[in-house]
Amino acid sequence: MDGFEQNSGVIIIAATNRPDVLDPALMRPGRFDRQVVVDRPDVKGREGILRVHTKNIPLADDVVLETLAKGTPGLAGAELANLVNEAALLAARQNDKAVTMHHFEEAKDKVMMGMERKSLIISEKEKKVTSYHEIGHVLVARMLPEADPVHKVTIIPRGRALGLTTYLPIDEKHTYSKGYLEAMITYALGGRAAERLIFKELTTGAGNDIERATELARKMVCEWGMSDKLGPLTYGARDEEIFLGRQITRNRNYSEDTAISIDEEIKKIVTNGMKRAEKILNENLDTLHRLAAALLEREILEGLEIDAIIRGEQLPPVEKRGNGEAAPGKQPAPAADGRAPKK
Ligand code: ZN
């Protein structure tokens, strides 16, 4: 930046994902001396981004960008642009004149959960285990008041997963309560709990869930000071203040005794979650069987359908979906976010 006169009126802007590793000489006054953090967009931001990208696309009347924005937490601008593009492609492939909410829903699943892998051959037994596993997540989450509502559950393989349960936060959260985190750990373990309860055996399918639950428990103890026994302390100082970059190393700054206590606390949180999940499933065994049977038959259950089954209602018969098209006679749900439609 040297060489510009004070009064030349040139402003230089640069972007980085790693401000933590920039040379301090770059950041001196007169150089890059202001920093603006551009975070992932919140719900208002996402709505605005969707509005920009759908400007030149014919939208059907049923498209509510606000609903779509609510259903895409965590997506960045490029991913939202991709979502709009996928929805438009889908509409074009089906020779539709306008992009409908249904196209957006399909595109959203593709962007957020990965491509459907219809060619993957799965044995009936494996499908059944996957159904019970996913319903384990669903049922436990439904019975925990602190947990996010279940948006959709599927046993159509996507990406590397054989089945998936998606949740939809009611509102954007920036901080998490202890109760919410414990609920997250509990429903993450719901899949394994269901497998154990029904099939009396363990599969590798729960590996990811267990990893997530353990990681959350570790953060609760080591970073967020949520353990009564270890108190409000940070264990394991980071190498340096890392601003946006990933955490690379952690220094161990505690004794061997504390290390043992930390491990015990993490274990306690995770096993408590497991016990809670097992208790919920045991108490709702009948609902578990009904939900799993419905999922096995339909391969996808939406939030409203899950609610209906839990209430003991029969779902209207639906033909199996194929080729990413809606089953005939089935209208897309009015509220794409899986909660009761608000009018
Ligand atoms: Zn799982």
C-alpha 288 to ligand 1 mean position (Å): 15
Whole-prediction pTM: 0.74
- CA gyration radius, the chain: 24
- What homologous superfamily does CATH list for 124-327? Peptidase M41 (1.20.58.760)
The pLDDT value recorded for residue 327 is: 40
Question: What pLDDT does residue 238 have?
Answer: 56
Report the alpha-carbon distance of residue 15 to residue 134 in Å, rounded.
41
- Dihedral of CA 44/47/53/54: which sign? negative
> How many angstroms does the Cα of residue 62 sit away from the middle of ligand 1?
33
Which amino acid is residue 128, in one-letter code? Answer: K
- Distance between Cα 129 and ligand 1 center (Å): 11
Q: Where in the chain is the domain with CATH 1.20.58.760?
A: 124-327
* pLDDT tens, per residue, the chain with 343 residues: 666 676 777 888 899 888 878 888 888 888 888 888 888 888 899 999 999 999 999 999 999 999 899 888 888 999 999 999 999 999 999 999 999 999 998 898 888 877 777 777 888 888 999 999 999 999 999 999 988 889 889 998 887 788 888 887 766 777 889 999 999 999 999 999 999 999 988 888 888 899 999 999 999 998 889 988 888 888 886 554 444 555 555 667 788 888 899 999 999 999 999 999 999 999 999 999 999 999 999 998 988 999 999 998 888 877 544 444 444 333 333 333 333 333 3
Name the class of domain 43-113: mainly alpha
Residues lining ligand 1 (ion), CB within 5 A? 191, 209
Positions annotated as catalytic residues are 134
pLDDT score of 211:
92
Residue span(s) of the chain under CATH 1.10.8.60 come to 43-113
The secondary structure of 110-177, three-state, reads HHHHCCECCCCCCCHHHHHHHHHHHHHHHHHHHHCCCCCCEEEEECCCECCECCEEEECCCCCCCCCC
Contacts of residue 21, defined as CB under 8 A and 6 or more positions apart, other chains included, come to 245
